[in-house]
Chain A
Amino acid sequence: MSPVNPFFQVHQINLGITLSNGNVAIGTISHGVYVLRPDLSVEYVIHQENGLQNNTVLGLHEDYYHDLWVALDKGVDLVAVNNPLSFYQDKQGGLGTVYAAKVFQNKLFVGTNHGLFFRPWPEEPDAEFHLVEGSQGQVWDVQVFNSQLLVGHNDGTFTVTDGRWESISGEAGGWSLIPVRDDPNRLIQATYTGLATYRWNGQRWEFVSRIGNFSDPVNQILMADDGSLWAASPTKGLFRIWLNEDRTQVVNHRSFAFADGLPTEYQLHLQQRDKQILVGADRNWVSWSEEDGRFRPEPGFQYISYLRGTAGDYFLDYGDFVAYYLDTVLIQQFPVRLIPGYEQFVAVDTDRYLFCLEDGYALFDRKMLSRNTIPNLPPSINYVRSLDNPGYRFAQVARNSEIHSI
């Protein structure tokens, strides 16, 4: 029998209904709604702490769109079960602002301004986040390369082994790690003091060195097809960098300014779309032209940030909302506000993306999109009436659409 039975002996069941997908929704007296799978395991729990106005459920109704209406001791709530977007809200503030996330070894790790936290994955209802002890402080980056978790932190770069927080590098401010295009055993990192490089020793990642001859703080890097690096500063500056063969020294670099076609020199977004290097600020984007040796305006791009998905899909961040595209077709828009300047999302499995938010995160489930499609229904005509004589109905329409004279 379901492990939640002991909870119901405490919280008291008030009513239950079967949902169209075979799940069971149970309303309780003191702990909101439990939605159970057919085997009575818990799909999710909705209560006052995560969104309901009140914990006492007096009525439940599933509507045409498979969303759940909840009549409460105080008010009526609509649980948009069928919404592809769900939120984890950090109402207590213990988690902090989420800057990065990754699923690793059946755990969801989130990096925040308070440290690195984890909870079970796949999600378990009411499972709490736990802090990785020692990780207190600002986390910027959480990634997995070669099955090792790498965490960019204010104090350096770390890994988590059997729950232990272990240092890999003391280079302050591990902002962003990228793989080297033609060398899977090499990573390059953007830090508070320039660039650093890491090497896979066959068992784990190890810090090699800072990359010499460059010490500007950069928080975004990407590697172009020709192997050169593009790097953007969190404050002012954009650079193109050429490295030596073993990627330990900068052999040449170029700084870009307004005169090179940049929309501004401050707080630039650096992105790559296909082979194009794009730089943006305040919804003004320019693309690098190797032919011209300068940036060209891209007036068609009006978004703040472009986030590439894993299956020909992508998101455009417009500040107040995020638009989801599949094969260049707009599919849906969502009321999600990403962190300005740190717009981040990660693919947590084949169908779901996680958006980092100031008060938690949002999960977007692509599978839910088809279920969310509202079918076109034929119009329902009840009667035919003369406009000249509104009180006179001269025909009645039956359910089978046959018209009968009155």
Chain B
Amino acid sequence: MMYLQQVGDQLILPVIHQGLYRLENDEFLRCLTRLFFADKRVVFILDQPGDWLIGTSQSGFFRFKDGVISR
């Protein structure tokens, strides 16, 4: 487990080997159904206009919008 991060009005928790979770009603829910970030160490998530910018330690960064990831 990494640090809980505030992204916009959401709280996001990157979990090592499992990916990203969102805290909602005292419950952690997966942000993605597939384990895309499970093998990556997420070091920052920035709330950008229209999407999130997700930085990983060794795989560069990704755009994340409506459950879709793009490079």
Contact = CB atoms under 8 A, between A and B. Distances in A.
Given A15-B43, A15-B44, A17-B46, A1 B63 contact: yes
Contact of A14 (B46, B57, B71): B57
B71 A13 contact: no
A24 B53 contact: yes
Contacts of B25: none
A112 B27 CA distance: 65
Given A15-B43, A16-B46, A1 B70 contact: yes
Contacts of B46: 16-18, 24
Contacts of B44: 13, 15-17
A6 B60 contact: yes
Interface string B25-62: 00000000000000000011011110001011111111
A38 B59 CA distance: 19
Given A2-B61, A8-B60, A24-B46, A13 B55 contact: yes
Contacts of A2: 60-61
A26 interface: yes
B57 A13 contact: yes
B48 A8 contact: no
A26 B57 CA distance: 11
B5 to A, nearest CB: 11
Contacts of A15: 43-44, 55
Nearest to B60: A5
A14 B43 contact: yes
Contacts of B43: 13-16
B56 A13 contact: yes
A386 interface: no
A9 interface: yes
Q: Is the interface of B mostly helix, strand, loop or mixed?
A: strand
A12 interface: yes
A6 B63 CA distance: 15
A12 B44 CA distance: 12
A15 B63 CA distance: 16
Interface residues of A, number: 19
Given A1-B71, A24-B53, A13 B48 contact: no
Contacts of B56: 13
B19 to A, nearest CB: 17
Counting chain B CB atoms within 10 Å of each CB, which of A13, A14, A15, A18 scores highest? A13
A26 B25 CA distance: 32
A336 to B, nearest CB: 36
A18 B61 contact: no
A8 B48 CA distance: 19
A9 B60 contact: yes
B57 A18 contact: no
A5 to B, nearest CB: 4
Contact of A18 (B48, B62, B63): B48
B37 to A, nearest CB: 14
Interface in A2-56: 2, 4-6, 8-9, 12-18, 22, 24, 26, 38, 40
A180 B23 CA distance: 74
Contacts of A8: 55, 60-61
A13 B60 contact: yes
A14 to B, nearest CB: 6
A241 to B, nearest CB: 63
B53 A9 contact: no
Contacts of B48: 18, 24, 38
Nearest to B70: A1
29 contacts: A1-B60, A1-B61, A1-B70, A1-B71, A5-B60, A5-B61, A6-B60, A8-B60, A9-B58, A9-B59, A9-B60, A12-B57, A12-B58, A13-B43, A13-B44, A13-B60, A13-B61, A14-B43, A15-B44, A16-B43, A16-B46, A16-B53, A17-B44, A17-B46, A18-B46, A18-B47, A24-B46, A26-B61, A40-B61
Interface of B: 43-44, 46-49, 53, 55-63, 70-71
Interface of A: 1-2, 4-6, 8-9, 12-18, 22, 24, 26, 38, 40
Given A9-B60, A16-B53, A40-B61, 9 more contacts: A1-B62, A1-B63, A2-B61, A5-B60, A16-B46, A16-B61, A18-B48, A24-B53, A26-B55
